[in-house]
Chain A
């Protein structure tokens, strides 16, 4: 093992409080810390200001305070090719993609990792709420962050051994409140900065408006499964399974219950709506997934095993039985109890206790062996 002082850690600094504290803690521990800001999206306005400016300014302030060099690297091309085209393709196919999962897989733990290695990094460090553990065989295991509310393993679940082997998550063992406290005590400029919300490249902008700039919206009919037309939708991509907001239908159905998106049919460009949060069409008992990826070797568990799963970020775990095909490329997952709003395009992420095993991308949801009309 090298001394900390001879160990170079390249920190992905976003200008937020989490990665600021990561850099600070590593510097305190004596590592050779280099801060790198990733510019992934070209959003230069007419007046020539890039919106990433403020974040970069914060990186500069924090890095100078800590006393580390900092740089900016441009991954606009990598992001566009690896994340954004996938993102648009999924929407075109009527699905709801998860760009943050893809950003980790294609940019942060690929382009950025490569870049850090070019800088002679021994490790890269990120401000994710997740933990890593190395076993005696030398395999890396991904564990949930100590802050249950903030755990980000969902977004890291598609990463491989190679991608995580060089990673450090120095705040994974901390609560968010502790992170803020450290930042405050260290006098870091980002201590009180608001957490970013939404997809990184869209930021606080109107999501539908953004999407419609890239994909032509195809308006169509909004119907019930009984065939009754309830109005018009403004493009299937603007809706996700289980969504209530923005339908514009009053409680004029069989009850006063609010209306929800309960299905989509891309072929006929129809949005299906139904009443009640617990509408039966929103409940699935199993799913098909592809793009199966496990973090550590899984062979010991066989092709069929029981564990827990999350179907979207920040959801409670559900008990599931996993059925893998022989080459681990596809997965069929049966739930211990029905789950609401399983959404094609999102990840099904598997856990065994604290450990995140890996994930697959949801393709189809089933109710009593029947495929739910979700795409």
Chain B
């Protein structure tokens, strides 16, 4: 059976050049980058080169502002929890949104148990916050604003530049979870006044269990993990050099023109999919909106009257891997907090929506195949 992968917001396949880089590094560079001998220096050189390339990709002022972590979750956890602990003498108030990833929301919940106060900004039906709400929520004791760059379920791209402008005038630091956006849109941490930025390598065809946390000059926070002095004491644990080299390779493959090519390609996939559904008389609506500004790799569609469990299983049995949100430990799909925030908990959208997310290996034929199978399943 033909298998089509349309869940690239969950993870992406490593592409051939990335795999090759990783294997070559595994073969040739096994040393511990903290060792001062020949093997250690060789590893250190790969680490430094990778860090430099990645620092440039977001216009970080200095290479050492990039700290490698185990991925998006650790980056988010570090940015939020360690900032709160380090800055609690200035205040105990943080601001975030209702549509963040669990790695952010659960960190916030944890801080609440420690006596911190969290303001959750609500979103409209497009998955957008209001800058007025943000301004109103900011207080002298606000120490951190954590707002994602692009949403993983509906693809909304939040007004990062404007948020940066607002937050820079306050005492708060600005953290953004850029796990979905990195590699797809241009990021300039200086231009956007970003203090902390989280990414994950496996969302842009890199290896899993790896990401980085960018920290601006003013951010001084300790490692979440306690241990050795790696990463200039900012993240304990021996660096995974082959994976980091592969990450850098993956980043190098998405230069500015390539990002634009991908956004256009995915935007066209969206149009192709929506036109195909319309032409076949499928009753649907988009969750969020399809616009030029959003992350184009994600589209979330409400299939009116169709239960997502059955849709998703049917698609899988037809060789199409998509998503309906995160599953509980018993495999059953949980109601999406993002759709709930956008449409309210009683909306039928919550039970009847699927997310498709595109990747570099998808083709227009894949989308045609998806349309054909969706129509077959829904019209049955």
Contacts and interface: CB of A to CB of B under 8 A. Distances in A.
B255 interface: no
Contact of A119 (B313, B327, B329, B330): B313
Q: How large is the interface on A (under 10, 10 to 19, 20 to 34, 35 or more residues)?
A: 20 to 34
Interface string A9-50: 000000000000000000000000010110100001000011
A55 B313 contact: no
A303 interface: no
B331 A119 contact: no
Contact of A72 (B310, B314, B330, B380): B330
Contact of B330 (A36, A55, A115): A55
Nearest to B330: A52
A69 interface: yes
B333 A50 contact: no
A118 interface: yes
A71 interface: yes
A204 to B, nearest CB: 17
Interface in A34-86: 34, 36-37, 39, 44, 49-50, 52-53, 55-56, 59-60, 69-74
Given A71-B313, A71-B316, A119-B310, A44 B328 contact: yes
Contacts of B360: none
B309 to A, nearest CB: 5
Contact of B329 (A53, A69, A120): A53
Contact of A74 (B314, B317, B332): B332
B316 A39 contact: no
B317 A72 contact: no
Contacts of A74: 309, 332-333
B304 to A, nearest CB: 16
Q: How large is the interface on B (under 10, 10 to 19, 20 to 34, 35 or more residues)?
A: 10 to 19
B330 A50 contact: yes
Contact of B332 (A72, A118, A119): A72
A39 B330 contact: yes
Nearest to A15: B330
B374 to A, nearest CB: 14
Q: Secondary structure of the A side of the interface?
A: mixed
A69 B315 CA distance: 12
Interface string A184-203: 00000000000000000000
B98 to A, nearest CB: 18
Contacts of B331: 37, 39, 56, 59-60, 70-72
Max chain A CB contacts within 10 Å: which of B310, B313, B330, B332? B330
Given A73-B309, A74-B309, A118-B380, A50 B329 contact: yes
Contacts of B312: 71
Contact of B317 (A37, A39, A60, A119): A119
B329 A49 contact: yes
Interface string B310-324: 101110110000000
Nearest to A53: B329
A66 B317 CA distance: 17
Given A73-B309, A74-B309, A118 B314 contact: yes
A120 B380 CA distance: 9
Contact of B314 (A49, A53, A119): A119
B314 A37 contact: no
Contact of A115 (B310, B328, B329, B380): B310
Given A71-B313, A119-B313, 14 more contacts: A37-B331, A39-B332, A50-B330, A56-B329, A56-B330, A59-B331, A70-B331, A72-B327, A73-B313, A74-B332, A74-B333, A119-B314, A120-B314, A120-B317
The 5 residue pairs across chains A and B that have the minimum distance between CB atoms? A72-B331, A52-B330, A53-B329, A56-B330, A74-B332
Interface of A: 34, 36-37, 39, 44, 49-50, 52-53, 55-56, 59-60, 69-74, 115, 118-120
8 contacts: A36-B313, A39-B330, A72-B309, A72-B327, A115-B310, A119-B313, A120-B314, A120-B317
